[in-house]
Structure 1
Amino acid sequence: MRLPEVARGDSVGHRLMIGMISRFAGYRLPDAARVAFYDRKFVGPVLGEWTQKVMRGPSSWSVSQRELMAAMVALWNSCPFCVGAHGAIAVRGMDDAIVSAVLADYTTAPIDEKYRATLVFLEKMTRNPSALNVEDARAVLDAGVSQQELSDAAAVCAIFNIITRYANALGFEMPTPAEFAKAAGMLLRRGYG
């Protein structure tokens, strides 16, 4: 259940800020951004900083590859809002057909084995974390993924296992594809922090 304060802002200042941003952007500010204004102790600064570091910090994974990982975690967690949001960002740096193929079935999508092995690991981390073991990590490393790349991918998975659950719990409103595309541009410019 989404609290009205999350949608409109929990203070007059936040309500004005949400209204101004929505008018300036030309579309309704997505609920994910609205949550950042709600009770700054809830998720705001800390989650934003962590997400910024994971999604935009140094990594040999591209921004689009990390965004597609986030969309996959969202898919495995049945979070259509995050699939749409992060898929829209991923296509800004990847071929749309590849993003669509990965979201449809990453096991047959035209991606390299290194990325595929990473997604296998992330799926197990998301869907069956208690069964994740050393052999799973070794399989990814044997596919050519470095320890740092595996750590970076696991960080994406960890943060989006949190984000997708609160998006589902708060019942985020679904933007249109055009609104997702506009928001994707904003997130690429401004980041998550």
Structure 2
Amino acid sequence: MPHIPLDPALPGISALFAYRPETATPLGQLAEVLLRGPNSLSVGERELIAAVVSNGNECRFCTGSHAAAAAETLDGGRAVVDAACGGIDDAPVSAKIKALLWIALAVRETGRAVTDELVAAARAEGATDVEIHDTVLIAASFCLFNRYVDGLATVAPDDQAVYDQIGKRLAVDGYARLGN
């Protein structure tokens, strides 16, 4: 049960955005820029970063939503997402994405866990400075989103079909409209 009065028909961050639309707008814009804006990382790769971080933070709503969005937008779909959430080294993604996912998980622990070695490994696999920057910012932002959603005990549906619908909607519409 949510800690504050939220619309019970709206799961996760949707309820929080409805509760405080003035904070929803900049948060939705941030997600849109990070996950849908121009970037050398694909939408699916960026959604995968969000899903892996959310999974590591044990945020059921964000994991379900972003894993579904990644599955919709990533070559290989759900199998790739499930593999990455289960263990980065065995995931069927490029060495560059694996290196970026390791950076994202370090950020999840603490920003200071991002070491020169992790950055060098990503660069050695062809990651650009912008890709490293955006990986860190996506991971940090999803720590915020995960704690926002779970810290107010929002509704996290048990039905995978709900997340699949959210993933389809995010794949088509993105995030900018969430705050409007």
**SS across alignment from 1:185:** helix
Shift of 1:129: 2.3
Aligned 8 A contact 1:7 1:31 in 2: no
The letter for the 2-side match of 1:70 is A
Question: Equivalent of 1:122, from 101, 104, 107?
Answer: 104
CA separation in 2, counterparts of 1:179 and 1:192? Answer: 17
Report deviation, 1:123. 0.9
Larger radius of gyration: 1
CA distance in structure 1 between the partners assigned to 2:50 and 2:87 by the alignment: 15
The gaps in structure 1 that reach 5 residues or longer are: 9-27
**In 1, distance between residues paired with 2:136 and 2:110?**
14
Gaps of 5+ in 2: none
Q: Bigger shift: 123-132 or 58-67?
A: 123-132
How far is 1:92 from its partner? 0.7
Which residue number corresponds to residue 33 of structure 1?
Answer: 14
Counterpart position of 2:47: 67
Q: CA deviation at 1:130?
A: 2.2
User: What does 1:45-124 align with in structure 2 at a 5 Å threshold?
Assistant: 45-94=25-74, 95=76, 96-124=78-106
TM-score normalised to structure 1 length? 0.82
Greater RCO structure (CA 8 Å; 6+ sep): 2
1:80 deviates by 1.4
Deviation of 1:122 (Å):
1.0
The code of the aligned residue for 1:116 comes to: K
Deviation, 1:32, is 1.4
Moved >6 Å (runs of 4+): none
Q: How many corresponding residue pairs?
A: 173
Percent identity at matched positions?
A: 29
SS at match of 1:6: coil
Per-residue CA shift, 1:69-127, capped at 9, x if unaligned?
Answer: 10111111111111111001111123221111111111112221111011111111111
Equivalent residue for 1:150, pick from 128, 132, 155: 132
